[in-house]
Structure 1
Amino acid sequence: MQAVINGTVIADAPLADLIKIEGNWYFPPASVNADLLVESPTPYTCGWKGDCQYFSVKDGDTLLQDRAFSYPTPYPASFDRVGQDYSNYVAFWKEVQVVD
């Protein structure tokens, strides 16, 4: 599976390595091209996952605000709900397409 924006691959990992949470595919940290992400100061806390870290995604010379997100230190109780530890896994939305 790949996370792609305008032909640029942001993340690439086998389907077996991804985790699907609430309809979003989360990629393992090592599969993500961190050079294309910029930490965002946007705050958000999920009631059952914990504090979220948003990232803006570089699309050429454009920076797309808050198009990726991760939970660096999710609530331990959420691991039971998800089925495994997903700390630092990265999910994408809007312009970023997740394709097989």
Structure 2
Amino acid sequence: MPRAVWNGAVLAESDRCEVVEGNYYFPPDTIHAEYFKSSDTHTTCPWKGIASYYTIEVDGQVNQDAAWYYPQTKDAAKNIEGYVAFWRGVKVEA
């Protein structure tokens, strides 16, 4: 079962992930919210829409904007709307 791990903590784990462009997107109900803090960062993908970010904090260590999601996707990406993906050193073990 895919899981996202950073700094020794499991951030998310699910067998219902969607894989898009090589990234695992985890359903929002499978993330461990205690590690996630909303960020003011936003980026735009031409076919998915506007992404929002989370900063991850584990045991006092901070990983700025290490997770992203699309709160409202364009039609082509509805399957990942609200789902969370990771980068910046977060390992996804599939």
Distance, in Å, in 2 between the alignment partners of 1:10 and 1:47 is: 28
Unaligned stretches of 5+ in structure 1? Answer: none
Unaligned stretches of 5+ in structure 2? Answer: none
Paired residue secondary structure (2:71)? coil
RMSD value over aligned CA atoms? 1.2
TM-score between both structures, scaled by the size of structure 2? 0.92
Paired residue secondary structure (1:73)? coil
Identical aligned residues as a percent: 37
Instruction: Count matched residues.
Output: 93
One-letter amino acid matched to 2:44: T
1:96 matched to 2:86:
no
User: Which structure: greater strand fraction?
Assistant: 2
Distance, in Å, in 1 between the alignment partners of 2:53 and 2:65 is: 5
Q: Which has the larger radius of gyration?
A: 1
Corresponding position of 1:53 = 52
Question: Do the aligned residues in 1 keep the contact of 2:63 with 2:88 (CA within 8 Å)?
Answer: no
What is the correspondence of 1:10-89 to structure 2 with a 5 Å cutoff? Answer: 10-14=11-15, 17-76=16-75, 78-79=76-77, 85-89=79-83
How far residue 24 of structure 1 moved from its aligned partner, in angstroms, is: 0.6
Segments of 4+ moved more than 6 angstroms:
none
Paired residue secondary structure (1:68)? strand
TM-score between both structures, scaled by the size of structure 1? 0.86
